[in-house]
Amino acid sequence: MGATIAKLAERPNLWPWLLLTPLAIYLAIFFLVPLVNVAIMSVTEPRLTLANYERVLVGALYQRVFLNTFLTAGLVTLACLLVAYPLAYLMNHSSQRTAMMILLLVTMSFWTSFLVRTYAWMVLLGNNGPIIAFIKAIGIEIPPQLLFTRFSSTLAMVHILAPYMIMNIYSVMRKIDPVLIRSAESLGARGFALFRHVYLPLTAPGIANGCVLVFVICLGFYVTPVLLGSPREQMIAGLIGTQIEEFLAFGMGSAMAMVLLAVTLAILAIYHRRFGLDKLWG
């Protein structure tokens, strides 16, 4: 046994293939085949036709849902950035202990199931929840509707995805050499100039990483928009779910899924050429 392995180890060409084969076969059957299946269904259900794609790409409803999905994903990404950057900056400029506490909180949020967090926002934003109670307490008699609106689903998605952005930005920010900052300050860089010429370029990779990650995850988000959003502002994943679950319209559902997949992969491909895909989730 030992001798065989040793022998194999000497032949560098066979060994890696042997180690890779089980996983390759597995992914081929249980990852690629289902995906190909979606592609096939999109042109064969209910019969051999491209009509599903025509409807998805030309139909006013589907265009609107796609547009809404992109807008929401963009909004969530921007909001995550606005939330994450100051926090990362604060962590970088606090004592190690404070930074550690904040990191612990962010990590905790990251690890907490997003269903739990979605539910929590339902409690927070509901008509009997603390936020409405606060609004009433400061004298506004007819509080705004928060739950089941675009606002509630967007807010919850920002909360769910913010840790990705924070981790990404913080990890590049803490590598910035303090000497660099001090010398920039000694040269007269203050406030926005310091940010514009020192922080921004140095943290750009983290920002790019975080934005791509948040945007791509948000594009395919199902649970939170379905539970907290309004059916009038559906995102594409929710609509795919309705097509499959309510109408058993596998053709339409698959065609939408393929368009979503194409968009996602296109974004990731651009990222891959520029940075390398393995960096994204690292």
**Considering only residues 119-138, where is the footprint of other proteins by CB under 8 A?**
119-124, 126-130, 133
CB atoms under 10 Å from CB of 107, counted, come to 13
The least CB distance from residue 107 to other proteins, in Å, is 6
Helix (H/G/I), strand (E/B), else coil: 174 = coil
What's the rounded Cα separation, in Å, for the pair 256 and 61?
Answer: 12
User: Considering only residues 49, 54, 64, 274, which one is a binding residue for other proteins as defined by CB under 8 A?
Assistant: 64
113 forms part of the interface with other proteins (CB under 8 A): yes
Tell whether residue 244 is a contact of other proteins (CB under 8 A): yes
CB 122 within 8 Å of CB 228: yes
From the CB of 223, what's the least distance to other proteins, in Å?
Answer: 5
Rounded to the nearest 10°, the torsion over CA 209, 215, 219, 222 is: 90
Task: Return the SS3 of 6.
Answer: helix
Select from 56, 73, 147, 173 the one that contacts other proteins (CB under 8 A). 147
Q: Contact with other proteins (CB under 8 A): which of 46, 54, 93, 180?
A: 93
Q: Which of 50, 86, 187, 197 binds other proteins (CB under 8 A)?
A: 86
Task: Determine the interface stretch with other proteins among 46-54, 79-87, 179-187, 196-204 (rule: CB under 8 A).
Answer: 79-87
What span, in angstroms and rounded, lies between the C-alpha atoms of 153 and 157? 6
- Of 43, 102, 198, 202, the residue at the interface with other proteins (CB under 8 A) is 102
* Contact call for residues 65 and 236 (beta carbons, < 8 A): yes
Cβ 153 vs Cβ 225: under 8 Å: yes
Nearest-approach distance from CB 139 to other proteins, in angstroms: 19
Name which of 207 and 260 has its Cβ closer to other proteins. Answer: 260
Enumerate residues 152-211 that contact other proteins by CB under 8 A: 159, 162-163, 167-168, 170-171, 191
Q: Locate 77 and state its tokens.
A: 């990404």
Which stretch, 46-54, 70-78, 178-186, 273-281, contacts other proteins (CB under 8 A)? 273-281
- Computed from CA positions of residues 107, 108, 113, 117, in that sequence, does the dihedral angle turn out positive or negative? negative
Q: Segment contacting other proteins (CB under 8 A): 70-78, 181-189, 197-205, 223-231?
A: 223-231
Closest C-alpha to 156, from 183, 185, 124: 124
Q: How far is the CB of 19 from other proteins (least distance, A)?
A: 4
SS3 assignment, position 247: coil
At CA 192, angle to CA 187 and CA 197, rounded to 5? 60
Choose the binding region for other proteins from 46-54, 70-78, 116-124, 197-205 (rule: CB under 8 A).
Answer: 116-124
CA–CA separation, 159 and 56 (whole Å): 30
Minimal distance, residue 150 CB to other proteins, in Å: 12
Two tokens, residue 151? 């606002």
Which of 53, 56, 65, 157 touches other proteins by CB under 8 A? 65
